[in-house]
Structure 1
Amino acid sequence: MTLLHTIVAFIVALGVLVVVHELGHYWVARWCGVKVLRFSVGMGKIVFSRRFGPDQTEWALSALPFGGYVKMLDAREQDVSKLPPQDLAREFTRQSVWKRIAIVAAGPLANFLLAIAVFAGLYIHGIPEPAPRLRAVPEHTAAYEAGLRGGELITAVNGEPVRIWSDMRWKLLRLAIEKAPARLDAERPDPNVAGGKLLDTVTLRLDSLSTADLEADFLEKLGMDLGRPKPVLGKILADGPAMQAGLREGDLILTIDGSPIKDGLAFLEKIRSSPGQPLEITGIRNHQEFSLTVTPERQEKNGQSFGRIKAEVALAPEMLVNSDPPLQALGKAVNRTWDTSTLTLKMLGKMLVGEVSWKNITGPITIADYAGQTARVGLISYLTFIAFISISLGVMNLLPIPVLDGGLLLYYSLEVLTGRTIPERFGEIAQRAGVGILMTLMIVAVFNDILRLMS
């Protein structure tokens, strides 16, 4: 069922992205007066089709569910010698260069508009996300050297407000790629005033991050992790080590074997790493300190041992629902789409000069896996995934590679500059080179996918 779920989620996402992209070409072609002969979802042999509209455009589903195309009246592909003058006037190559540019650019533009629409809808609806509150910061990390200790709520990065964890991470990633320092506005608990807050600004150095760090969890390398709730016990299961030792629901754990326990995750990690080992626990119950010994029972899974005491502990981070009015949501959506596009181009540039590994190129297997994972998490995660893939599709199609939209835009731009069309022979050679480049990229992507599966 998991495999089927992944396949369905991938096909739905791919279908939406392809349809939107090709509709961009279709609508602008019609607006420019070009006759559209076929709109196909999928490639290869047509398995189903119907004709609609005044031009009797063929709307088709094809056998291979990867990609799609819009077939226009084009003298390079069809014999137009016997067509009446009114149809010849609607042939693609007879259009002005600006109309041809608009038709070709409309596909990637439609993908960017889809991402903007999805992000705007999510921002209006509200996205439940963790607050940018830090967990205890390990020593000898960049965050610790900056003066962060844990418990701080990050409210701004270089003067730009942040409300949720993903916003903070995104802004830090952009700065890390540029090796630029980050100025963090942090809100700390005031130890001298109950419920009080202290405001502070620290400078976080990001130039210590390597390329490998950026490709992994760079925040962990910096010493920044998502804040977790205090280690307060929830439900205690009967006949488990916790109940037998005398632990009770509502107990606040302070230390284990004399080491402070900062949060619920630290408590869970200590228990799991201590199967069969007696642990001295101190805590607070009803405003009074207590001390006792608990021995986690040994459990086995996939050949590995871990400890368990059969007691619940809260792990969910502080959550916020970030909702914006329509105009503000639209502005944020445009900025997010722009930032993602520019970041994608920067990463591609760093791949070309060897600063970022080509292992980051992903193929259909990894994309399908992410589609399935996000769909299982929920609709918001799935829609966010679609928005990001739509941006990637738009950026990739604008690359100046022959056979892609970007390659055609390059031809037409040269035509604008020189006043002459690109020689047909040159176009044929460039097409072959473009196919070779795309095949190479696909081989690299599939190879990376297989390596990820094996690892």
Structure 2
Amino acid sequence: MGEFIGSVWWMIVSLGVLVTFHEFGHYWVARRCGVKVLRFSVGFGKPLWMRRNRAGTEFAIAAIPLGGYVKMLDEREVEVHPAERGQAFNHKSVWQRIAIVAAGPLANLVLCVALLWAMFVIGKQDYSATIGRATGMALTAGLQTGDRVLGVDDRDVVTAGQASMALTTAAMDRRDATLTVLDAQQQVRTRTLPLSQLPAGFDERWVPALAGLTWQFRMQPALVERIEPGHPAEGVLMPGDLLLAVDGVRIDSAEQVPAQVRALGERGGPGMIEVQRGADRMALEITPQQGKDARGQPTWQIGVGFPQSSAPVYDTTLQYGPLAALPAALRETARATSDSLGMMRRMITGAASLQNVSGPVTIARVANVSAQRGLDWFLWFLAVMSLSLCIINLLPIPILDGGHLLYYLIELVKGSPLSERAMAAGQYIGLALLAGLMGLAFYNDILGLASR
């Protein structure tokens, strides 16, 4: 229940910020162009609070916090007094109408840059693109534990998230990725990861793992927390021991232990477990015994327990001074824009799964998680959402800002506005497209909840 309430709250806060800036963009440019604004509302439905300014604009906060709007004086919607026709939206030049409509998405773009600038000034804690374990394809490519990824193809990367996104992009395009890495000897080397060999229909959410890469921050040390009475580890291992190897196989994280214990048990006979106990490193003999796991399935066990998974410790910080943060924010905005447009193109062409479309449930959950991580992560979340709102609103779909811009561009070309009938038909098409998109988003949300 706490997670649900937190998700709803942070979703409302996020929408409030993003919608307010979006609608303020429309409002500000409309006023500069001499258009009379009748109402500026954050939310839909019955107003909970309202105030009118000297220009006659009503500022309102409404009961349903799922959007907002700016209502302008327009002869197509209300009767306009002859003295006010010059202030009506439909009486403005096509270029002024284009500026007013485009101002909303552009306000979100500016907000994205501003939020990223603030995030970089504060400093965003993150996880470095350091490899914790390389197996399969990654190991064959020459990648090693401790290698730090500096670049993927022509893209510089600092964090594991940036590296994962670049690898996922290459995998969706069915091409190999060239990785620039800094190895344990501080030598810069180049490795080629053959992502084009991934099987058809691979899960795009797990590309690094499918390629055999485990980032260091995801690896929990195999630190013994408890010993189960009556099991082989009793009298051999002690709480606080750090497992280093099982039967000669190096252990880098707790998740490797069950598989190695199973291999030792299937081999039969005793084996050696290397541990770090305080300042001493020792090799201890142990023989696994058969038992049952939590689901009642037969398994090999030695009887040790590790700490429950907790949030990994951040190992890098993206931080700049106030001046240097501006170009960094612009670069990050350009990177995110390219990734978003690229993903949309791939979904349209079928190169990417439609499961990448997220709905309000997923967005609310991410908002809550980001807020819990701290101000730096919440600023990042708001910036990404603001950019997404900008891009989506610029799509040439009727009823969105991009659809209105399309109408005005057609008007520029043909020299006269589209007919009311053509625009009405466009509205119906736009509603159908948006309904389909929302249906897909909700479907993906439901699938996500079912798989949790």
Shorter-chain TM-score bucket reads 0.7 to 0.9
Per-residue CA distance 1:386-444 (angstroms, 9 max, x = gap): 22222211111111010000000001111222222112221111111111211122222
Query: 1:41–1:69: 8 Å Cα contact kept in structure 2?
Result: yes
State the SS of the aligned residue for 1:89: helix
Aligned-partner Cα distance in 1 for 2:259–2:69: 52
Aligned-partner Cα distance in 2 for 1:37–1:224: 56
Query: 2:108–2:390: 8 Å Cα contact kept in structure 1?
Result: yes
State the SS of the aligned residue for 2:208: helix
Write the mapping of 1:254-269 to structure 2, written as runs, cut at 5 A. Answer: 254-267=244-257
Q: Which residue of 2 aligns with 1:117?
A: 114
Aligned-partner Cα distance in 2 for 1:49–1:83: 31
Alignment of 1:24 with 2:16, yes or no, is no
Q: Which residue of 2 aligns with 1:207?
A: 196
Aligned-partner Cα distance in 1 for 2:293–2:6: 29
Per-residue CA distance 1:107-130 (angstroms, 9 max, x = gap): 111112222112221122212212
Q: 1:344 to 1:312 in 2, by over 3 A?
A: closer
Query: 2:167–2:207: 8 Å Cα contact kept in structure 1?
Result: no
Per-residue CA distance 1:135-173 (angstroms, 9 max, x = gap): 22112x1x2332113221122333544322222223333
Query: 1:236–1:243: 8 Å Cα contact kept in structure 2?
Result: no
Aligned-partner Cα distance in 2 for 1:354–1:149: 34
Q: Which residue of 1 aligns with 2:332?
A: 336
Q: Which moved more, 1:161-170 or 1:249-258?
A: 249-258
Amino acid at match of 1:350: R
Q: 1:408 to 1:313 in 2, by over 3 A?
A: closer
Q: Which residue of 2 aligns with 1:52?
A: 52
Match among 375, 379, 383 for residue 379 of structure 1: 375
Aligned-partner Cα distance in 1 for 2:318–2:290: 42
Amino acid at match of 1:78: V
Per-residue CA distance 1:23-70 (angstroms, 9 max, x = gap): 111111112221110011122x32324233221211122333221110
Q: 1:313 to 1:8 in 2, by over 3 A?
A: closer
Per-residue CA distance 1:193-223 (angstroms, 9 max, x = gap): xxxx333212223323467436321111111
Match among 281, 285, 289 for residue 282 of structure 2: 289
State the SS of the aligned residue for 1:225: strand
Aligned-partner Cα distance in 2 for 1:76–1:209: 56
Alignment of 1:34 with 2:35, yes or no, is yes
Q: 1:213 to 1:115 in 2, by over 3 A?
A: farther
Alignment of 1:64 with 2:57, yes or no, is no
Q: 1:59 to 1:116 in 2, by over 3 A?
A: same
State the SS of the aligned residue for 1:56: coil
Aligned-partner Cα distance in 1 for 2:261–2:371: 32
Aligned-partner Cα distance in 2 for 1:274–1:368: 45
Q: Which residue of 1 aligns with 2:304?
A: 309
Write the mapping of 1:121-132 to structure 2, written as runs, cut at 5 A. Answer: 121-132=118-129
Aligned-partner Cα distance in 2 for 1:150–1:108: 44
Q: Which residue of 1 aligns with 2:427?
A: 431
Q: TM-score, normalised by structure 1?
A: 0.85
Query: 1:133–1:151: 8 Å Cα contact kept in structure 2?
Result: yes
Aligned-partner Cα distance in 2 for 1:302–1:8: 37
Aligned-partner Cα distance in 1 for 2:195–2:152: 13
Q: 1:97 to 1:209 in 2, by over 3 A?
A: farther
Aligned-partner Cα distance in 2 for 1:235–1:412: 67
Q: Which residue of 2 aligns with 1:96?
A: 93
Aligned-partner Cα distance in 2 for 1:23–1:224: 45
Q: CA deviation at 1:93?
A: 1.2
Q: Which moved more, 1:442-451 or 1:247-256?
A: 247-256
**Structure 2: which 5+ residue stretches go unaligned?**
none
Amino acid at match of 2:11: F
Aligned-partner Cα distance in 2 for 1:159–1:130: 21
Q: Which moved more, 1:149-158 or 1:409-418?
A: 149-158
Alignment of 1:217 with 2:222, yes or no, is no
Q: CA deviation at 1:134?
A: 0.7
**Structure 1: which 5+ residue stretches go unaligned?**
191-196
Q: Identity over the aligned pairs, expressed in percent? A: 35
Query: 1:74–1:92: 8 Å Cα contact kept in structure 2?
Result: yes
Per-residue CA distance 1:3-23 (angstroms, 9 max, x = gap): 111111111112212111111
